Amino acid sequence: MNKYFKRLLRSNKQFILHEVLEVKGFMQLLMKHRNTGEKWTKQEKKEIKHHLKHISKLIPALIIFLLPGGSLLLPFLAEVIDRRTENRA
């Protein structure tokens, strides 16, 4: 499941990244856990889910984040769309 899920996100990476960047501050919020190691607050998770709900209308694969427990998968999304990993490779 993990490999399938990552492959699904990677195949839609450019489109997801474009949509995430359209929402001011969303990329920074999504990368908070990855960049600082701090956990998202309940309010931040609520805000992330609100944005993902909108984006999932365009990219149905993101609906998985809106399911119960979907917030546990947010680090995968941050890892896949992290633009810094392209620069390091």
Sign (positive or negative) of CA dihedral 78, 86, 56, 64: negative
Vertex 55 angle, CA 76 and 69, to 5°: 45
In one letter, which amino acid is 1?
A: M
Compute the distance between CA of residue 39 and CA of residue 34 in angstroms, rounded to an integer. Answer: 9
| Local confidence band at 86 (pLDDT 50, 70, 90 cut-offs) | low
Compute the distance between CA of residue 11 and CA of residue 47 in angstroms, rounded to an integer. Answer: 25
Question: What digits encode the pLDDT tens for the residues 18-48?
Answer: 888 888 888 899 889 888 999 999 999 999 9
pTM of the model: 0.71
SS3 44: helix
Compute the distance between CA of residue 37 and CA of residue 41 in angstroms, rounded to an integer. Answer: 12
The dihedrals phi and psi of 23, each to the nearest 5 degrees, come to: -95, 110
